[in-house]
Amino acid sequence: MNLPRLKKLSKKAIIIAIPVWLVIWLTASWLAPKVCNKILPKVQAKTQSMGVKIDHIEFANIKVAPWLTQVTIESIKMNFDTIPGDKHHLKSTFKCDSVVVSLHNPFTLRGSVKASDFDIQFHQSDLPKDIPFDRFTKGQVYLANVPIVQPKEAAKEILTGVTELFNTNSGTGDFRFSGEVVMRAGDNEIPAKLYTEHDGDQYRLRFSEDDVRAIAKALKVDLAAEQIKLVSVYPLRMPVIMLITDKAEKLSKRYQPRDKWKQDALRHTSWSFMLTETFGPDFAKYVTDAQETKPNNEKFERLMDYNNNAVGRKLFAENTKLQQIPNLLATDQRIVLSPDDAKSRPADSLLR
């Protein structure tokens, strides 16, 4: 084939290819919102089966890139309810400037998801007044190696990763996250940066310890070094820990409004029980032991607290129900009812 003829055929091919490509692109752009609306109910069903109920999703626009390997969803808003351990609800509203879904490997059909400038507002009706979390803002997240043409599988993988972060605060892969958690302190707002810390292909979410100290100071909360470390390296668990702490406080005041020490015994026993129920005995002990590193308790108060925290863990292992615990103060001899009670018992009989 001579060169002039080859050039002529090339021009014809280009002339044909351009309108074909344009038709495909315009068709993809027209279909994208419809496909998205069809997929969303399936994603909602999958996320609900994994403990996240999405009540409402809306978006302003969907753009398909001319090269057909990238989709941008703009101005997203959704209401959801997280249910860690299926016990402690925390309703929230998610707003995001844009989510970009990119195809990187046409053979495996896997790619990346990037969300930019997103906020999460906790519903105040679900958040006790004495818990300072207000909202998450300035969020950025990038997640690679996602099966982007299988939305149900993608939702499953993402939620599995989030669950793993919640349970162990560790993960493997290319995941980048940053943003600010805004705390309330009276009329003031204090931001704390939440970010991924990487070590090779391993990552974890964390706060900086300096931010935690600043928040504690603003809230006039005296935190021991172990408690600062706990908050820093288990940030996803903190709202739930605080909800559990608030629930134990209210339970103890309702059933033991007049007796200071019985109230304390019930608070620690029920607190440790619920922590164990939600996170398991090892992490529950880590949380309660961190509390006891504060220097304000005298010896037998501390021994009382250690003992009752241990009783809470044992009660859960014995399949006790939370609603049974208030009555156990009168019948379960393992529960220490006051510092004097702790002092009167043999040292080796106190649990730890």
The separation between CA 335 and the C-alpha centre of its own chain, rounded to angstroms, equals: 33
* The pLDDT of residue 85: 47
Q: What's the whole-model pTM score?
A: 0.71
Domain boundaries, the chain: 1-221, 225-352
User: Which comes out higher in pLDDT, residue 91 or 273?
Assistant: 273
- Both tokens of residue 143? 């997640």
Tell me the average pLDDT across 201-210.
89
With a cut of 60, say whether residue 84 has pLDDT above it.
no
Q: How high is the mean pLDDT of the chain?
A: 84
pLDDT digits (tens, 9 = 90+) for 15-52: 776 777 777 777 777 778 888 888 888 778 877 776 77
CA atoms of 209 and 103, how far apart (whole Å): 38
With a cut of 70, say whether residue 8 has pLDDT above it.
no
The per-residue DSSP string of 282-312 comes to HHHHHHHHHHTTSTTS-HHHHHHHHHHHHHH
With a cut of 50, say whether residue 86 has pLDDT above it.
no
CA atoms of 71 and 65, how far apart (whole Å): 6
pLDDT digits (tens, 9 = 90+) for 153-185: 887 787 777 777 777 788 888 889 999 988 777
Task: Report yes or no: 48 and 87 within 8 Å, Cβ to Cβ.
Answer: no
The separation between CA 7 and the C-alpha centre of its own chain, rounded to angstroms, equals: 59
CA atoms of 217 and 226, how far apart (whole Å): 16
CA atoms of 126 and 145, how far apart (whole Å): 35
In the chain, the N- to C-terminal Cα span, in Å, equals 89
- Both tokens of residue 172? 């493997």
Q: Residue for token digits 């009706």?
A: 125
Task: Report yes or no: 270 and 322 within 8 Å, Cβ to Cβ.
Answer: yes
Tell me the average pLDDT across 146-158.
81
Q: How wide is the angle at C-alpha 123 spanned by C-alphas 45 and 227, nearest 5°?
A: 100
Closest by Cα among 188, 167, 172 to 234: 167
CA atoms of 332 and 45, how far apart (whole Å): 44
Maximum average pLDDT range among 43-57, 89-103, 155-169, 303-317: 303-317
Tell me the average pLDDT across 136-152.
88
Phi and psi dihedrals of 350, rounded to 5?
Answer: -80, 135
pLDDT digits (tens, 9 = 90+) for 251-296: 999 999 999 999 999 999 999 999 999 999 999 999 999 888 877 7
Q: Residue for token digits 């004097």?
A: 340
The per-residue DSSP string of 314-329 comes to HHHHTT--GGGHHHHT
CA atoms of 82 and 60, how far apart (whole Å): 24
CA atoms of 25 and 350, how far apart (whole Å): 72
Task: For helices 260-279 and 238-255, give the axis angle rounded to 10 degrees.
Answer: 140
Task: For helices 281-291 and 260-279, give the axis angle rounded to 10 degrees.
Answer: 140
User: Which comes out higher in pLDDT, residue 111 or 3?
Assistant: 111
Phi and psi dihedrals of 110, rounded to 5?
Answer: -115, 150
